[in-house]
Structure 1
């Protein structure tokens, strides 16, 4: 599955972000603690350059606690990065982010600090802004892409926060990242297939958390394949159609919805080691695709030139 969901307002947001970044002193990137790698926008790293960046791992109450600590340590290894984990229930922790921001730019003491906050759709960015501001400034909800335009918010401690729309990038080249983004609700439903995402979730859970599956769906015997698991869930939850066959789409929706809600416990889908491995694999696939596209374009141009030569030769023969 290739994720290619880049609505017009996201393209506009990128252009606006590029225009305003030179005036920004630091960047706050809100990530999903369950998928820090896949929820990290590669466009941002390209655009921000060496500006200080605070990585905020949101929804950390849904992620594996030990793995969140691993990710925080990983980010703190970089001189230009700092990291913190937050949840929507722990307001004091969110508000303490302001003190981290001021320490990241000590040269801005007694001056207004311009901080740009960015994040993919449905990562919890608006909730964090509202708690930082101490009032409801940004719209919140479980639907991706609620914020549609930039806005400036004073959050105290001399910090002016520039809010930006949730932005994916034009092509999610890493197939696994595309699945993870869709699984956790960062992609609109119209751009994904629930059965496809359900099978991805089933594969992951069978490999990493079979005990959670057994407990949640009261499975006496663990299915061996993702199809068998989806069918078992469907039968347990009454997703039956004609001839007593399981409705795969309905059963997949149940698995995806419950995965997102956290009822199966705290789960993290990525590790720093996995990220490094997938980056290499993705770069290789992108290079192969670019090479194939170049060869295809060269063949197309050759056919066009050959056709033109044949037409010229035909005209010359007719003129004799």
Structure 2
């Protein structure tokens, strides 16, 4: 199953973002630390490159990701030209405060009343852009929720007399080229639920967990035999959670939803869905 999701309001949001890019000095791209490359919108890269804008990549939700893998991603992104990358968690009050000074360092020619530093926050849905912006501004001005595409329109905020911050809606792109990326985005709740079947997405998550984090699975669901496939894992989760049967059969949809929820809430532990080595090895094989 190829997952695609591109709601109509994102067409207008893309056009507006392209217009705003002309008057932007630093692009703040918020990524999900658990899948940084899968959560990169290629259109953000293209827009920034066309205008040669400096790029600050925020690996958000780092508290949910595998810290060793996150360090590898930060090192990888920091080798890119005109790019700075940091990992943060918006749950930690002091971490978002680093962002403005990092933006200033990326555009040292700006940041005065005559030439204010102009920043634009971008990213796919549900990576924490609104939460991050609220933290930067130190007040709640953006609606926050654990679902994709809450913010629908661009918003401009005057931080002080030498800094301007523009918040953009979460934006996907018209076609997700790599099928695996669609699954990773769905696993991380960056895609509307009407675009996929939860049990199929949960099986993809199960494949990753059984391969890379089997002990976390064993601990959470009390599974002794880990030489199973992702389909059987859903059966075991249904038994562990004592889910009621559906038409005398195991309710795989509810079991899949339970696995996705446990992962998204961080109840399984610190997990990364992709690493630099797994990402680039996969690309070489396809």
* TM-score range relative to shorter protein: over 0.9
- 1:129 equivalent among 124, 127, 133: 133
Q: 1:2: Cα distance to partner?
A: 1.6
Note the 1:73-222 alignment, pairs <5 A.
Answer: 73-110=75-112, 111-156=115-160, 158-222=162-226
Aligned partners of 1:223 and 1:229 also within 8 Å? no
Aligned partners of 1:130 and 1:138 also within 8 Å? yes
For residues 242-300 of structure 1, what are the alpha-carbon distances to aligned partners after superposition, in whole Å with 9 as ceiling and x for unaligned? 57521111111111110111111101111123333444566xxxxxxxxxxxxxxxxxx
Consecutive unaligned residues of structure 1, counting only runs of 5 or more, are 283-320
Against the structure 1 CA distance between its residues 248 and 166, is the aligned structure 2 distance closer, same or farther, given a 3 Å change threshold? same
1:40 counterpart residue number? 40
The structure, 1 or 2, with the larger RCO (C-alpha pairs under 8 Å, 6+ apart) is: 2
How far apart in 2 are the matches of 1:217 and 1:156? 50
Aligned partners of 1:121 and 1:167 also within 8 Å? yes
The yes-or-no answer on 1:30 pairing with 2:36 is: no
Against the structure 1 CA distance between its residues 38 and 195, is the aligned structure 2 distance closer, same or farther, given a 3 Å change threshold? same
How far apart in 2 are the matches of 1:104 and 1:166? 23
Q: Which moved more, 1:218-227 or 1:188-197?
A: 218-227
Q: 1:222: Cα distance to partner?
A: 2.2
RMSD between aligned alpha carbons?
Answer: 1.5
Aligned partners of 2:30 and 2:59 also within 8 Å? yes
How far apart in 2 are the matches of 1:280 and 1:117? 31
How far apart in 2 are the matches of 1:242 and 1:108? 61
How far apart in 1 are the matches of 2:158 and 2:285? 42
For residues 116-159 of structure 1, what are the alpha-carbon distances to aligned partners after superposition, in whole Å with 9 as ceiling and x for unaligned? 11011000000010111111111111011011011101234722
1:236 counterpart residue number? 240
Note the 1:227-306 alignment, pairs <5 A.
Answer: 227-241=231-245, 244-279=248-283
How far apart in 2 are the matches of 1:67 and 1:55? 16
How many residues were matched structurally? 282
